[in-house]
């Protein structure tokens, strides 16, 4: 149905695309096509060149000479401003979303497709009416006048998606031929991802070709017709998804040898964790935490333990993390580390007590993009050290260790963080907090945007951190991740912790049942039931 050879009717045809940054080849002679109506997945490990390829299509990067890109049979110029890409029938959702924080929602929607006009003037009223209509189609209830910098990450993602899908209004507008989405679901809850998949089905039915980057293999099987794999900037193959299994796709992405290694470490790890059953002291004790959505949440995390928080979007997971860390005000409740109470609503006090939070929104709160890898990793330490002198050589060693433990690429401590691939930026944020040896490490969506291979590395590292004396609390929308990583999982529903799962009962199915509120009373231990006992 979707030929692997090029035809004249391709929506997108890339031939011999190469891209070199200061002598370093990031894309090497890549050729690939997207047929009209096709969803073509672009897969590869962190740093393999997916986003760079997309930025070459979008006019953000200038491809090396000799490269050729055609949209609907029309050659793209060597250079053009990114704002012009819609004139060639292209639309994008970039990995960093490409929104402008200091502009409103309506203004951001107008970038690229133009403003509603009455003669020479912008017609703000119809501009806003149009914005509301587009936002509504993605279930987004936000004001067109809101500033984008004030929106939570899910809303920003949906806004960037809505912008890419919005109909072209101008009379002479080029119809959409190719839509490219770079990890659009990395920060999206499942129900919003469903809206996206429906929208994709609508545009492909109308003949649009879709390029889709993801690290979630289940999405590939769900929506993609073909998949192309990039490894170190080289396209290693294009496959019909219907002829692939999860295993063969995984192997194609990480390579034969790595796939075997990852398989064995994963099983070893599981066995190891079942052994250490000795009773451990409680590190975190949170008592009846109440915020805006979260009510009376009580939980403990023991030394060496990894506690997961499972919940649907809006159940209060990130708020719970902020209440624990003190970056959001507690209405009531208390928390202590090793039985020493922490002053309420102060991240400083929390950090002094040994709590670290890796936030969900790494671009806003997690890192500084124009500083180096080394500066970002040591940042959190420098800020909190009370001694005037910094031990630079010890820091250098630590940075080197972090780079190798998390396989951060490139392995150059002086590289500016903003030039790293998205997944590698996420690893730097993790390294920064692990370097502080926190007593309690809170992680909000820690493997967001991290590839299938690196995910296993990060989980191994977290298990190691727990085993060597930390308590860990993890929020992850992917229940498989929680089942894989955690010793125990607390279920958060409508701001309340309703039950806990551990041992045999800690399964993905039980988590989805419990978060949706269809838990079988005989199977799940209810915390409420516990507390009613005298």
Ligand X SMILES: Nc1ncnc2c1ncn2[C@@H]1O[C@H](COP(=O)(O)OP(=O)(O)OP(=O)(O)O)[C@@H](O)[C@H]1O
Determine the interface stretch with ligand X among 236-244, 421-429, 460-468, 502-510 (rule: CB under 6 A).
421-429
Residue 419 binds which of Mg ion, ligand X, none (CB < 5-8 A, kind-dependent): ligand X
Which residue, 155 or 213, is less far from Mg ion as judged by CB? Answer: 213
Q: Token pair of 490, please?
A: 């607390």
Q: Which long-range contacts (CB under 8 A, 24 or more apart) does 195-201 make?
A: 195/138, 195/139, 196/138, 196/161, 197/222, 197/223, 199/137, 199/138, 199/161, 199/165, 200/39
Give the shortest CB-336-to-ligand X separation in angstroms.
38
What is the distance between the alpha carbons of residues 424 and 89, in angstroms, rounded to a whole number?
31
Residue 423 interacts with ligand X (CB under 6 A): yes or no: yes
Q: Token pair of 170, please?
A: 């101008």
**Given 51, 72, 113, 484, the residue binding Mg ion (CB under 5 A):** 51
Residue 95 interacts with Mg ion (CB under 5 A): yes or no: yes
Determine the interface stretch with Mg ion among 93-101, 150-158, 262-270, 404-412 (rule: CB under 5 A).
93-101
Residue 17's Cα: distance from chain center in Å?
A: 27
72 conformational bin, left if phi > 0, alpha if psi -120 to 50, beta if neither: left
How many other β-carbons are positioned within 10 Å of the β-carbon of residue 10?
A: 22
Q: State the number of binding residues for ligand X (CB under 6 A).
A: 20
Residue 446 interacts with ligand X (CB under 6 A): yes or no: no
Nearest C-alpha neighbor of 345 from the set 333, 324, 329: 329
**Given 420, 440, 472, 498, the residue binding ligand X (CB under 6 A):** 420
Q: Is the peptide bond before 468 cis (omega within 30 degrees of 0)?
A: no
Give the shortest CB-76-to-Mg ion separation in angstroms.
21
Nearest C-alpha neighbor of 53 from the set 20, 89, 17: 17
Residue 49 interacts with ligand X (CB under 6 A): yes or no: yes
**Given 32, 35, 41, 47, the residue binding ligand X (CB under 6 A):** 47
Residue 421 interacts with ligand X (CB under 6 A): yes or no: yes
Residue 422 interacts with Mg ion (CB under 5 A): yes or no: yes
Residue 48 binds which of ligand X, Mg ion, none (CB < 5-8 A, kind-dependent): ligand X
Which residue, 51 or 113, is less far from Mg ion as judged by CB? Answer: 51
Q: Spell out the residues 6+ positions from residue 231 whose beta carbon is closer than 8 angstroms to its own.
A: 44, 45, 48, 253, 255
Give the shortest CB-431-to-ligand X separation in angstroms.
15
Three-state DSSP string of 326-341? CCCCCCEEEEEECCEE
Residue 336 φ/ψ, nearest 5 degrees: -140, 150
Which residue, 72 or 448, is less far from ligand X as judged by CB? Answer: 448
Determine the interface stretch with Mg ion among 47-55, 64-72, 279-287, 382-390 (rule: CB under 5 A).
47-55
How many other β-carbons are positioned within 10 Å of the β-carbon of residue 27?
A: 26
Give the shortest CB-227-to-Mg ion separation in angstroms.
16
What is the distance between the alpha carbons of residues 302 and 284, in angstroms, rounded to a whole number?
7
Residue 95 interacts with ligand X (CB under 6 A): yes or no: yes
Give the shortest CB-393-to-Mg ion separation in angstroms.
34
Give the shortest CB-45-to-ligand X separation in angstroms.
7
Give the shortest CB-421-to-ligand X separation in angstroms.
3
Nearest C-alpha neighbor of 366 from the set 330, 327, 412: 327
Q: Which residues bind ligand X (CB under 6 A)?
A: 21, 26, 44, 46-52, 95, 409-410, 419-424, 451
Binding site for Mg ion (CB under 5 A): 50-51, 95, 421-422
């Amino acid at each position: 149905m979707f030929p692997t050879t090029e035809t004249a009717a391709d929506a997108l045809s890339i031939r011999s695309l190469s891209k070199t940054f200061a002598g370093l080849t990031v894309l090497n002679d890549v050729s690939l096509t997207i047929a009209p109506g096709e969803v073509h997945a672009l897969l590869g490990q962190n740093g393999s060149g997916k986003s760079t390829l997309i930025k070459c299509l979008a006019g953000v990067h200038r491809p090396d000479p000799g490269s050729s890109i055609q949209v609907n049979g029309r050659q793209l110029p060597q250079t053009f401003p990114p704002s012009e890409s819609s004139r060639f029938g292209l639309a994008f959702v970039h990995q960093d979303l490409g929104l402008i924080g200091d502009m409103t929602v309506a203004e951001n929607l107008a970038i690229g497709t133009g403003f509603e006009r009455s003669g020479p003037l912008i017609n703000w009223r119809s501009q806003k009416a149009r914005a509301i209509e587009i936002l509504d189609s993605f279930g987004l209830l936000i004001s067109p006048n809101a500033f984008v910098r004030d929106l939570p990450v899910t809303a920003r993602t949906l806004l960037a998606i809505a912008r890419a899908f919005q109909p072209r209004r101008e009379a002479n507008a080029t119809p959409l031929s190719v839509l490219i989405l770079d990890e659009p679901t990395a920060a999206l809850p499942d129900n919003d991802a469903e809206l996206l998949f429906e929208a994709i089905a609508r545009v492909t039915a109308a003949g649009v070709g879709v390029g889709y980057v993801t690290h979630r293999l289940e999405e590939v099987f769900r929506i993609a017709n073909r998949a192309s794999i990039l490894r170190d900037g080289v396209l290693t193959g294009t496959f019909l998804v219907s002829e692939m299994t999860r295993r063969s796709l995984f192997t194609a992405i990480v390579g034969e040898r790595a796939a075997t290694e990852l398989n064995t470490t994963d099983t070893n790890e599981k066995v190891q964790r079942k052994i250490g059953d000795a009773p451990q002291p409680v590190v975190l004790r949170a008592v009846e935490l109440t915020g805006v959505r979260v009510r009376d949440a009580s939980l403990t995390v023991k030394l060496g333990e990894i506690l997961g928080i499972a919940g649907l979007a809006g159940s209060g997971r990130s708020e719970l993390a902020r209440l624990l860390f003190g970056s959001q005000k507690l209405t009531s409740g208390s928390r202590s580390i090793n039985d020493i109470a922490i002053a309420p609503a102060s991240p400083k006090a929390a950090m002094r007590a040994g709590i670290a939070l890796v936030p969900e929104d790494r671009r806003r709160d997690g890192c500084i993009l124009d500083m180096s890898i080394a500066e970002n990793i040591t940042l959190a330490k420098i800020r909190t050290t009370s001694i005037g002198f910094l031990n630079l050589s010890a820091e250098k060693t630590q940075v080197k260790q972090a780079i190798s433990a998390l396989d951060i690429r490139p392995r150059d401590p002086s590289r500016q963080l903003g030039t790293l691939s998205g997944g590698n930026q996420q690893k730097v944020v993790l390294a920064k907090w692990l370097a502080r040896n926190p007593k309690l490490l809170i992680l909000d969506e820690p493997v967001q945007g991290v590839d299938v291979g690196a995910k296993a590395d990060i989980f191994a590292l977290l298990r190691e951190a727990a085993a060597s004396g930390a308590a860990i609390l993890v929020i992850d929308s992917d229940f498989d991740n929680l089942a894989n990583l955690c010793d125990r999982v607390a279920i958060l529903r409508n701001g309340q912790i309703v039950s806990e799962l551990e041992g045999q009962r800690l399964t993905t199915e039980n988590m989805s049942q419990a978060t949706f509120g269809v838990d079988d009373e005989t199977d799940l231990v209810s915390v409420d039931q516990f507390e009613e006992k005298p």
